Amino acid sequence: MRIKIKPFIHVLKIAKNTDYLGDVAILKAEAFGVKLNHKFESKMQSVVGYHPKIDLEKLIQLPPQTLGYQYAEHIKSNHLQPFEISQYVSKIAENNVFSLRYSITHDIFHVLLGFDTSYAGEIGVLAFAAEQNYSPSLKLSLRIARLLYPILAPQQIPQIFQNLRRGRELGNLAQFLLNYRFEENWERPLTEIKAELGLIKKLS
């Protein structure tokens, strides 16, 4: 993974001034040359440039069993923000469908897979994505996380390695998720979507 110096410096400048955290994620991917696994290019055509605005206040009004409510609750309870990008960065994102879609779906994956936002939870999501083989960069990121997270959170070591195994198992179990339009399924029951995507047996 090679760092492109000019884009990396640009990321640092954006991070200090932007109101859109999504800008940082996309530009960081550009700086590190993070790309989609080429064998999935045809599968991802349906979500190229796809990033509809997420209305948390609307989603939190949905029934508790729905994907939309569970996602909004996850975002609010963890003091997060939905993924948004500026018009400038959206043009860059259209040329890197992986960085855009993976950034958008990251918190949705937390909800689907049942992983929290601790180091142990994050490695579970990362292990899932690496096993689904969305991008070669994810396998490198997982190797780094496997070494680093136990140092950063020694009290979570048992859960880190448990979630590492579970994330890999779920990655093998599920169908390809990165091109699924979750945003068009907010009103559906979460358990129904899990079953459709091949996750219900491991997550129930």
Locate 154 and state its tokens: 């020694």
Q: What is the mean pLDDT of residues 21-45?
A: 81
Q: Which residue has the tokens 């994330």?
A: 167
**How crowded is residue 61: how many other Cβ atoms within 10 Å of its Cβ?**
11
Locate 107 and state its tokens: 């918190």
Show me where the domains of the chain are located: 38-203
Q: What's the predicted TM-score (pTM) here?
A: 0.86
Average per-residue pLDDT for the chain: 87
Question: Of 51, 128, 139, which Cα lies nearest the Cα of 96?
Answer: 51
Q: Look at residue 52 and give its three-state secondary structure.
A: coil
The predicted pLDDT at position 131 comes to 97
Q: What is the mean pLDDT of residues 32-50?
A: 89
CA 145 to chain centre: 15
* Bridge partners of residue 189, in order along the sequence: 66
* Distance between CA atoms of residues 30 and 88, nearest Å: 14
pLDDT digits (tens, 9 = 90+) for 142-176: 999 999 999 999 999 999 999 999 999 999 999 99
pLDDT digits (tens, 9 = 90+) for 170-182: 999 999 999 999 9
* Distance between CA atoms of residues 15 and 197, nearest Å: 35
